[in-house]
Homo-oligomer: A and B are copies of this chain.
Amino acid sequence: MTFQAAAWRKHFPLLANHPRLHYLDNAATGQLCEAAFDAVTHHELTHRANVLRGTYRLAELADSAYENARQQVAKYLNAASDAEVVFTAGTTASINLVAHAFGEGLKAGDEVLLSLAEHHSNFVPWQMLRERRGVTLRILPLTTEGRLDLARLGDFITPRCRLVAVTHASNVTGAITDLVPVVAAARAVGARVLLDGAQAVQHGPVDVAALGADFYAFSGHKAFGPSGVGVLWGKAEALAALPPFLGGGGMIGRVGAEQTTYALPPRRFEAGTPPIAQAIGLGAALDWLREQPWTALNAHTARLAQRLIDGLAVLPGLTFIGPRDMRERLPIVAFDLPGIHPHDICQVLDERGVAVRGGHHCAQPLMDFFGVQGAVRASIAPYNDEADIDALLEGMRDVIRRLT
């Protein structure tokens, strides 16, 4: 059975509105699937109310929908319980939550291990923690292809390591981290593991139990869900050990002028009115995604990525920022064409309806590693097809004709 991109495409209303658009910026934001759109609309138009406090029917329906979304997320992640799912504003908010709540327990000299491939959202929060608490950041180097250099894990994870915070998959190179040795090395020194799943969740269900992590962060808007919502999954005992981060309504047990007690997870970490409609939309998106034929979908996107790589490889001087084959990687293809600036490339491609991104991709340390200032990145979703890839390749020939 060959997968039909056209069939998948039908579930994304924006794409129907732009029949000539070649949207290849899926790593920045995925298009909203109709399941999410419909769930948000249904919520807003039939049972919008604040959650977890009201006793009237509308509020009960809103509560059920919100808690149902938590269950849908838990199911997608194979979490042991929906109480392990914290709704946040996005990946960045989730990681900052851990950097503060877990960070509170760290002291000068404690170590956090990152990698040079991290997105700024999994870099800057730790630099800020270093400022606040004097922890030491250790940065795992990369192989020449841009993968985490796991051979050197032993040099970088010391007995002082308290947390390993690395990406599940890179938003630039597409490389999927081989987590088995990472988790084992962290466990060996008693460190917790946080995975940045911002790029991974949209390529099929994740099994947090099998990954063996303690925390997993991702965003709704990259997973074909609404913006304004994200998730921090945390193993029950890992969440239970954390103090709250943000203070406000909903996360307390009892507030006194002098003393305040806190609610149990996940509510302890959901201060204030949560992104209700957005969580409901994300739940619906993941519920729909969970049932998709991922083996076929991933074979389809890998084929497209390979077609793109093969087509680009013949361009003179072009450097791939990341692996050149499709083993253990996502359909994200980044490249640099010396002498032509990524933004100029993107602009010319845009004239042909090809939407790709150019720049540092919020990964400046990785750009520095590759010795480039920026790169062009095409990121593929199952609704993309051969025509999208060919439009990009044709556009690149135009770029070279016109800009060199």
A residues within 8 Å of B by Cβ?
A: 13-14, 17-18, 21, 23, 25, 28-29, 31-32, 37, 41, 44-46, 48-50, 53-59, 89-93, 95-96, 99, 116, 119-121, 123-128, 139, 219, 221, 226-229, 244, 246-252, 254-257, 260, 271-278, 343, 346-347, 349-350, 354-359, 362, 364-365, 368
Is the beta-carbon distance between A96 and B248 smaller than 8 angstroms?
yes
Q: Which residues of B sit under 8 angstroms from A250, Cβ to Cβ?
A: 362
Q: Which residues of B sit under 8 angstroms from A96, Cβ to Cβ?
A: 246-248, 271
Bound CA–CA A363/B128 (angstroms): 33
Which residue of the partner chain B has the closest CB to A128? B247
Is the beta-carbon distance between B25 and A359 smaller than 8 angstroms?
no
Which residue of the partner chain B has the closest CB to A365? B257
Q: Which residues of B sit under 8 angstroms from A221, Cβ to Cβ?
A: 50, 273, 276
Is the beta-carbon distance between A272 and B90 smaller than 8 angstroms?
yes
Sample (14) of A-B pairs whose CB atoms are under 8 Å apart: A17-B46, A25-B50, A28-B53, A32-B48, A37-B44, A41-B41, A53-B357, A92-B248, A116-B257, A119-B248, A120-B252, A226-B228, A228-B274, A255-B365
Label chain A's interface by main secondary structure: mixed
Is the beta-carbon distance between B56 and A356 smaller than 8 angstroms?
yes
Bound CA–CA A96/B18 (angstroms): 40
The residue that A29 contacts in the complex, of B48, B57, B271, with Cβ under 8 A, is B48
Q: Which residues of B sit under 8 angstroms from A56, Cβ to Cβ?
A: 25, 346, 349-350, 354-357
The residue that A31 contacts in the complex, of B48, B226, B274, B365, with Cβ under 8 A, is B48
Max chain B Cβ within 10 angstroms of own Cβ: one of A44, A59, A95, A128: A44
Bound CA–CA A163/B221 (angstroms): 36
Max chain B Cβ within 10 angstroms of own Cβ: one of A48, A350, A354: A48
Is the beta-carbon distance between A355 and B49 smaller than 8 angstroms?
yes
Bound CA–CA A356/B221 (angstroms): 33
Taking A90-B273, A227-B274 as given, write out 14 further A-B residue pairs in contact, using a Cβ cutoff of 8 Å, ordered by the A residue number. Answer: A25-B50, A25-B56, A28-B50, A37-B44, A41-B41, A53-B357, A120-B247, A120-B252, A120-B255, A124-B251, A124-B252, A128-B247, A228-B276, A275-B275
Is the beta-carbon distance between B228 and A278 smaller than 8 angstroms?
yes
Q: How far is the CB of A245 from chain B (nearest CB, A)?
A: 8
Is the beta-carbon distance between A25 and B49 smaller than 8 angstroms?
yes
Is the beta-carbon distance between A28 and B54 smaller than 8 angstroms?
yes
Which residue of the partner chain B has the closest CB to A97? B246
Q: Which residues of B sit under 8 angstroms from A55, Cβ to Cβ?
A: 343, 346-347, 350, 357-358
Known: A257-B139, A271-B96. A357 touches B228 (CB 8 A): no
Q: Which residues of B sit under 8 angstroms from A347, Cβ to Cβ?
A: 55
Q: Which residues of B sit under 8 angstroms from A349, Cβ to Cβ?
A: 56
- The 9 A-B pairs with the shortest beta carbon distances in the complex, nearest first, are A92-B272, A228-B275, A124-B247, A228-B228, A121-B248, A92-B248, A249-B362, A28-B50, A56-B350
